[in-house]
């Protein structure tokens, strides 16, 4: 106890009696954490979470969202209590606390601390006031960050009008009390109310967030006009619902007012879309998100699930752009990947390895990274680890992530995503590195790259985070973009590699097939020619977009590509991806091995013309690339 004597006179412990001080500090111990280690992890069971008093160092509080993203929502400084808020939320909000530098804490035995809190009202009030203040600032920050960092939405499938999905609005007068608004929300089972003085026009909206803030400030008797959000997002009744769905993904607790001229005629919310005729996608993704074993996910995999295959076929029949279908399929696969990672984490805990000791970010690469998936795909993934070289647990950390990534890759293989034949997977040391080592690998790649590594690098360039600490991926992306933009030699190597595979179309439009069956590898001989060319130009001009269509649009915006050429490239990409999707569906139907081969046998005249035109556009891009390569080549 002598080591804790100095805290007897330190606030708020000076509020404790002698007996209470003994109770709190009698079972306390000093803990030390290295940079990037977790003090508390989201996957810990409630009964294993301790309460810490920060003595030195700096830590950050991370909020974990259901989509796999992590938001850094506040810092902890010396003198702060860590763990009380997490215990009080009882799992409603998922948090981790991570050391940003070497940290020393006093770790209290939880039961003793909470017992003293329950008996000492003055001490308890100080602690709870601090928590209340934290929750208010936390709400504002989470609201801001969740509106700016969420992932791109799942595409709306059938482009319906808003009035087909709206529900009746619920109004509240601006002079009504916050207390009344809270009761109405509870009774009506709705997320927000329209504030109106005439039951028609909208002055603002008030939802749980605003009401929670009012209660924190002890203002629940005040009128709703003091807390309502005045600039609410709204949609006209005849507008398509795509933007509404996008907004609801970004703001999952909000409603969207539907207007006829300037009058509120309805509202949209997530449950408004449950009646969509083809709800296969929503049904399957719900099952994925709630799966707790690999056995539950396996039958939901695209190559195993006939409902999903028929769903994709219906999108093709409805003339949806193939690259939009590919993005939707990628979003579906992302959900599987995220759930697999979570199941692997849970399994690590059950087997006694515990929660991840440091932060990490799981990446997908290649076509999954670009959101250009078809049914024929294998694994291309990696993992970034927060730097841990200076940790005294270095060997333990390395062993943990070796086991963890092996589990992930094995589980993905079970779920219909075969192992990468080139070994581009997170379980391989080359693709499982801490941030500083990734920097070193990228430098080495760029400075000493040979022909054999080109393929790996092009796959890596299209990396995208799907779960974990996204800031690790964003920082690495900035580093890569800056390095590759300045490397003319790298651009030349990438061009040379791309030009090895010629687009198989002759000067007069004759398509060249391979072998007796005359097949065309759509991916290697056509799609990748467009993808690679656009990637190279994006690298050259510092564009960080990953998806090929987004890269094209960014190139047009920077006036690097003519808008007509952009539209031609998008058209070619759509047609080639459409052929690939149809071929995959036919292979699944015939129970044949999945491949990217298209049989060039009997084809409808219209189909052959469509394919020929797409190949000609791809060849034109390749020719432009070849001119650039020859111009820059050192003789």
Nearest to 24, CA basis, from 99, 85, 87, 81: 81
Q: How many CB atoms lie within 10 A of CB 230?
A: 10
List pLDDT tens digits, range 309-349: 998 998 898 888 899 889 889 989 999 999 999 999 999 99
Asked which of 156-160, 252-256, 573-577, 607-611 is least confident by mean pLDDT, the reply is 156-160
Write down the residue that tokens 């005040």 correspond to.
Answer: 222
Q: How far apart are CA 267 and CA 528, in angstroms?
A: 44
Q: How far apart are CA 96 and CA 38, in angstroms?
A: 7
Between 633 and 93, the more confident residue is: 633
Q: Which of 36-45, 280-289, 429-438, 617-626 ranks highest by mean pLDDT?
A: 429-438
- Ranges assigned E (strand) in 335-440: 360-364, 381-385, 432-434
Between 375 and 77, the more confident residue is: 375
Question: First vs last Cα of the chain: how many Å apart?
Answer: 77
Mean pLDDT of the chain: 83
pLDDT at position 44 = 74
List pLDDT tens digits, range 229-257: 877 778 878 765 655 665 665 455 568 88
Element (H, E) at 152: none
Nearest to 103, CA basis, from 6, 190, 5, 30: 30
DSSP 3-state assignment of 433?
Answer: strand
pLDDT at position 246 = 53
Between 92 and 251, the more confident residue is: 251
pLDDT over 70 (residue 148):
no
Backbone dihedral angles phi then psi of residue 455, each to the nearest 5 degrees: -60, -45
pLDDT at position 425 = 97
Compute the average pLDDT of residues 518-525: 86
pLDDT at position 158 = 39
Q: How far is CA 357 from the centre of its chain?
A: 21
Compute the average pLDDT of residues 193-207: 91
Domains and CATH numbers, the chain: 5-136 (2.60.120.10), 164-272 (3.10.580.10), 280-483 (3.30.460.10), 491-632 (1.20.120)
Q: Is 18 exposed, middle or buried (0-12, 13-18, 19+ CB in 10 A)?
A: exposed
Share above pLDDT 90 across residues of the chain, in percent, rounded to a whole number = 37
pLDDT over 80 (residue 6):
yes
pLDDT over 50 (residue 146):
no
pLDDT at position 92 = 47
Nearest to 309, CA basis, from 380, 376, 364: 376
pLDDT at position 159 = 44
Element (H, E) at 412: helix 394-414
Compute the average pLDDT of residues 139-168: 52
The upper half-sphere exposure of residue 118, i.e. CA atoms within 13 Å in the direction of its Cβ, equals: 7
pLDDT at position 271 = 63
Q: How far apart are CA 145 and CA 143, in angstroms?
A: 6
Between 246 and 206, the more confident residue is: 206
pLDDT at position 141 = 46
Q: Is the peptide bond before 112 cis (omega within 30 degrees of 0)?
A: no
Q: How far apart are CA 60 and CA 100, in angstroms?
A: 7
List pLDDT tens digits, range 413-467: 999 999 999 899 999 999 999 999 999 999 888 887 776 678 888 889 999 999 9
Compute the average pLDDT of residues 213-217: 84
Q: Which is it for strands 59-64 and 70-76: parallel, antiparallel or unpaired?
A: antiparallel
Q: How far is CA 99 from the centre of its chain?
A: 23
Write down the pTM of the prediction: 0.69
The total number of residues shown for the chain amounts to 635
Q: How far apart are CA 74 and CA 63, in angstroms?
A: 9
Asked which of 131-135, 149-153, 257-261 is least confident by mean pLDDT, the reply is 149-153
Q: How far is CA 236 from the centre of its chain?
A: 30
Q: How far apart are CA 501 and CA 495, in angstroms?
A: 11
pLDDT at position 150 = 38
Nearest to 327, CA basis, from 557, 524, 581, 568: 581
List pLDDT tens digits, range 272-291: 655 454 457 767 887 898 89
Is residue 425 within 8 A of residue 431, CB to CB? The reply is yes
Q: How far is CA 278 from CA 156, 190, 239, 315, 559, in A?
A: 11, 25, 20, 10, 40
* Per-residue confidence band for 513, with pLDDT thresholds at 50, 70 and 90: low
Give the bridge partners for 82, in sequence order: 52
pLDDT at position 629 = 78
Backbone dihedral angles phi then psi of residue 167, each to the nearest 5 degrees: -120, 160
List pLDDT tens digits, range 346-385: 999 999 999 999 999 999 999 999 999 999 889 999 999 9
């Amino acid at each position: 106890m002598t080591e804790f004597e100095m805290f007897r006179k330190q606030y708020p412990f000076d509020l404790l009696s002698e007996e209470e001080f003994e109770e709190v500090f009698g079972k306390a111990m000093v803990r030390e954490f290295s940079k990037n280690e977790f003090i508390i992890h989201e996957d810990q069971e409630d009964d294993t979470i301790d309460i810490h008093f920060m003595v030195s160092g700096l830590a950050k509080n991370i909020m974990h969202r259901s989509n796999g993203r992590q938001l850094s929502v506040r810092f902890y400084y010396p003198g702060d209590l860590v763990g009380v808020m997490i215990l009080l939320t009882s799992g409603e909000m998922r948090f981790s606390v991570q050391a940003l530098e070497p940290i020393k804490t006093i770790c209290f035995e939880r039961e003793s601390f909470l017992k003293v809190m329950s008996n000492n009202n003055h001490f308890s009030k100080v602690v709870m006031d601090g928590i209340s203040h934290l929750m208010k600032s936390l709400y504002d920050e989470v609201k801001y960050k969740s509106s700016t960092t969420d992932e791109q939405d799942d595409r709306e499938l059938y482009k319906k009008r808003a009035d087909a999905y709206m529900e009746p609005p619920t109004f509240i007068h601006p002079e009504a009390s916050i207390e009344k608004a809270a009761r109405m929300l509870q009774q009506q089972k709705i997320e927000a109310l329209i504030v109106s003085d005439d039951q028609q026009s909208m002055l603002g909206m008030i939802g749980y967030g605003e009401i929670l803030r009012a209660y924190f400030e002890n203002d629940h008797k005040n009128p709703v006009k003091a807390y309502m959000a005045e600039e609410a997002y709204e949609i006209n009744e005849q507008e398509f619902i795509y933007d509404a769905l996008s907004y609801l993904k970004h703001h999952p607790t909000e409603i969207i007012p539907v207007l006829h001229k300037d009058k509120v005629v309805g509202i949209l919310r997530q449950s408004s879309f449950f009646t969509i005729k083809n709800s296969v996608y929503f049904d399957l993704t719900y099952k994925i998100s709630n799966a707790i074993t690999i056995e539950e996910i396996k039958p939901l995999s695209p190559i195993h699930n006939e409902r999903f295959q028929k769903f994709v076929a219906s999108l093709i029949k409805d003339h949806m752009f193939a690259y939009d279908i590919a993005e939707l399929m990628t979003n579906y696969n992302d959900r599987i990947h995220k759930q697999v990672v979570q199941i692997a984490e849970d399994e690590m805990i059950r087997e006694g390895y515990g929660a991840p000791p440091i932060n990490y970010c799981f990446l997908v690469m290649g076509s999954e990274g670009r959101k250009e998936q078809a049914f024929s795909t294998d694994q291309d993934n990696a993992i970034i680890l927060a730097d841990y070289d200076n940790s005294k647990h270095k060997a333990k950390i390395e062993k943990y992530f070796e086991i963890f990534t092996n589990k992930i890759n094995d589980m993905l293989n079970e779920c219909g995503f075969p192992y990468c034949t080139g070994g581009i997977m997170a379980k391989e040391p080359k693709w499982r590195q801490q941030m500083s080592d990734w920097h070193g690998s990228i430098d080495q790649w760029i400075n000493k790259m040979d022909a054999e590594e080109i393929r790996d690098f092009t796959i890596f360039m299209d990396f995208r985070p799907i779960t974990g600490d996204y800031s690790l991926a964003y920082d690495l992306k900035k580093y890569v973009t800056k390095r590759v933009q300045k490397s003319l030699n790298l651009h030349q190597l990438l061009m040379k590699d791309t030009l090895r595979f010629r687009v198989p179309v002759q000067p007069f439009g004759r398509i060249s097939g391979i072998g007796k069956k005359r097949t065309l590898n759509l991916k290697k001989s056509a799609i990748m020619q467009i993808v690679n060319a656009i990637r190279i130009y994006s690298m050259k001009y510092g564009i960080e977009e990953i998806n090929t269509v987004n890269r094209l649009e960014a190139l047009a915006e920077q006036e690097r590509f003519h808008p007509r050429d952009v539209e031609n490239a998008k058209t070619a990409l759509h047609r080639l991806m459409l052929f690939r999707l149809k071929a995959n569906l036919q292979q699944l139907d015939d129970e044949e091995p999945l491949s990217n081969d298209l049989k060039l046998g009997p084809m409808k005249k219209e189909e052959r013309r469509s394919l020929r035109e797409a190949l000609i556009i791809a060849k034109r891009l390749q020719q432009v690339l070849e001119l650039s390569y020859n111009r820059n080549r050192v003789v």
